[in-house]
Amino acid sequence: MRWNIDAAHSAVEFGVKHLGISTTKGRFQKFSGAVEGDTTGTPVGLDVTIHVASIDTNSPDRDAHLRSADFFEVEKYPTITYRSTSVRPVTNGYEVLGDLTMRGVSKPVPFHIEAEPAVTDPWGNERIAGHAVGKISRKEWGLTWNKILEAGGLMVSDEVKFTLDVELVAERAAVAA
């Protein structure tokens, strides 16, 4: 069964350390994706596409800088994609390994997912939800812009933590004519 992300009830967010003392968060407003499940409902694959131009950190100037060649280079690389290569059940959820492609570079990235059981909404649609967390080193994707602070620290941390809270709706089977 295929479950499509309901973007209106989902969030793709990230956080980085700023000046080494606080976490600055942002989110992507436009994304899509799906989870494939086997006949028992166990996830066996997932894919997500994020439209980088939709980045929102609550600061228009910072968002413009993040869209520039110093960071995401949106004109050349408009999307970030994640395609799973394996999904395995673990205590409290699933471990997913997949390829994250950003700025033309693909690297394996693990995520931990906690899933909620299926429910039926008032319109008869079957829905599930999941909470996924992961982290990357942004330097591995060529995101190297930074400033060295007077005390020797960095303005922006290398480590980026991701959180995805997604609600998915079951794709309905086509009715034969």
Distances (CA, A) of 165 to 6, 11, 101, 154: 11, 5, 20, 29
User: What's the pLDDT at 177?
Assistant: 52
User: What's the pLDDT at 167?
Assistant: 94
From first to last of its 177 residues, the chain has per-residue pLDDT tens of 899 999 999 999 999 888 877 889 999 999 999 999 887 777 889 999 999 999 999 999 999 999 999 999 999 999 999 999 999 999 889 999 999 999 999 999 999 999 988 899 998 999 999 999 999 998 988 877 777 777 767 678 788 999 999 999 998 755 555
Q: Are residues 28 and 56 in contact, defined by beta-carbon separation less than 8 angstroms?
A: yes
User: What's the pLDDT at 129?
Assistant: 93
User: What's the pLDDT at 173?
Assistant: 58
User: What's the pLDDT at 48?
Assistant: 96
Q: Are residues 92 and 115 in contact, defined by beta-carbon separation less than 8 angstroms?
A: no
pLDDT tens digits for 58-77? 999 999 999 999 999 999 99
For residues 158 and 140, give the distance between their C-alpha atoms in angstroms, rounded to a whole number: 9
For residues 19 and 149, give the distance between their C-alpha atoms in angstroms, rounded to a whole number: 8
Q: Is 161 exposed, middle or buried (0-12, 13-18, 19+ CB in 10 A)?
A: middle
Domains and CATH numbers, the chain: 2-170 (2.40.128.110)
